[in-house]
Structure 1
């Protein structure tokens, strides 16, 4: 498995609209439109994204951190080989991803950017 960096962070909150406005208006983060994502998504200058979802919108976690990988299928296999339970691979118009629980019992994400959007 080859980790290339941090590429995603997200939060779920009952104050989604206020948080999204804060990110856009106060922190001046541009909104991104990506089909297949049920959250307000914001682009950061380094190419990473920050998502704001409604409670439960990211599953059973209030926060999520995503590691960028170059080969999601190989990374999933490496996690399984290490005895880590991984979720199903999901996808949207620009990424493939999966969730897993690390030894700290927190939810993390592996993300692979599609070649045409990398």
Structure 2
């Protein structure tokens, strides 16, 4: 597996509005998408940082704090390496990501 950098960061939190305000107003990240309970901010390298309200659907498996996404060159091959290593895959894969539980019990992601 070849990790090329940090590819994504997502946080599901009961402090969603405060965190979104922090990312936008304090860190100065541009807001590129918003809907109730969900914000997407863009980093200078084009990667995304996302904030989820506790009741935002589809991210219920984000229970361990911020979820870091590791960018990889070949997602399908990297997922197969996780499987071969006995790593638990979490949730349904997306077109450009796969969540997994690390040995520390936290949720992580591989992404393109």
Q: Is TM more than 0.5 here? A: yes
Contiguous gaps of at least 5 residues in structure 2: none
RMSD of aligned alpha carbons: 1.9
Contiguous gaps of at least 5 residues in structure 1: 113-118
For 2:87, the equivalent position in structure 1 comes to 84
Q: 1:61 aligns with which of 49, 60, 64?
A: 64
Secondary structure in 1 aligned to 2:23? helix
Offset of residue 15 of structure 1: 2.3
For 1:50, the equivalent position in structure 2 comes to 49
Secondary structure in 2 aligned to 1:103? coil
CA distance in 2, matches of 1:26, 1:103: 33
For 1:18, the equivalent position in structure 2 comes to 18
Alignment check: 8 A CA contact 1:11 1:63 kept = yes
* TM-superposition CA deviations, 1:88-110 (whole Å, max 9, x none): 3113xxxx101111111111100
Alignment check: 8 A CA contact 1:55 1:62 kept = no
CA distance in 2, matches of 1:63, 1:106: 9
Q: Work out the number of aligned pairs and report it.
A: 105
For 2:29, the equivalent position in structure 1 comes to 29
Secondary structure in 2 aligned to 1:25? helix
For 2:9, the equivalent position in structure 1 comes to 9
Offset of residue 40 of structure 1: 0.6
Alignment check: 8 A CA contact 1:101 1:107 kept = yes
TM-score, structure 2 length as denominator? Answer: 0.81
